[in-house]
Amino acid sequence: MENTGTNQPIVWPGDAAEFALTLHDTPDPYFDRAPVPVLAYDPGASLRDRREAFREVYAAIVARIGEPTLYGGSAEGPNIRWRDSRRVVLLAGNRHRAQLSVHDTDTLENDERRIFDWGGAWSADEQHDFAFLPYVWQLDRSGPGVRPIERPGGRMASSLEHFQSALELLLTAWVEQLSVQVGGDWASFSVTSGADRGRQLQISYALEDGLHVSVDDRDGEDSPERAGLMRSRGWQSRDRGWWQTDFAEPERPEVAAVARLAVTELRARGTKEPEELRARDVSCKDRGELWLPGLGIRH
């Protein structure tokens, strides 16, 4: 192993792929061992830098052992699984590195289920823990391996401030992680509120299109005064009654702006608590099941 510098492999991609194959095919000697780093990140790396550094390592591993059973990621980094009923090969990342490990399936998933079941903030005054969830998004496209029969419950936000944080963490994860795993496919969902029934706020991300957020305002006035109000909240343009904001190459500030805009709009239309919110039409290019346990609202 060699540490070759900023955003560089600790293990060369081909070697990482061979190690992944060993974990995949003959895992027994490696259970309960510490994860092996395969990539180091610069502490100041942009989301794009982290994404592109990870891409080569991931591509080499997939070329060697095939597509994963479950795509996904946490607020810290990717969380990708080659799973069967006995073992999970885990390619996971944090703020500093990406690493490979193998785990007994039941042990790993029982531990994670406890985190989902017993963590979180019980009130708006407590600190949320969305950043520490095992994964905030997960995608099952019926790939190789065996998928879980049961998934843990998602983390619920205790306030709109917590929901804003959760949304920002999820979208940050998508910008860094999604295109490496699913190429140019888009991921999206709509948010609806019981305080403003029938209205949709839509959020989507794809590498080609960037980060998009829009709200149905077809019942709003098409007037300079209304336009000034909407622009003051952070909306950029109006198209056929929908106000929208787009960032073609989002980084952390743009992701934060989208999360802030979404919550500002929900508040302005009467939402007071995250219990009023639902995520609808959660999809990754209409292929497979996309699950968002770190979004902070039900779906």
pLDDT tens-digit profile of 68-121? 999 999 999 999 999 999 999 999 999 999 999 999 999 999 999 999 988 775
What is the share, in percent, of the chain residues with pLDDT greater than 90? 87
Rounded Cα gap, residues 247 and 234, in angstroms: 12
Question: Which two tokens mark 221?
Answer: 């006035």
Which pLDDT value is given to residue 9? 53
Residue 262, number of CB atoms within 10 A of its CB: 24
Q: With 90 as the cut, is the pLDDT of residue 136 above it?
A: yes
pTM, two decimals, is 0.94
| CA-based torsion, 134, 129, 279, 246: positive or negative | negative
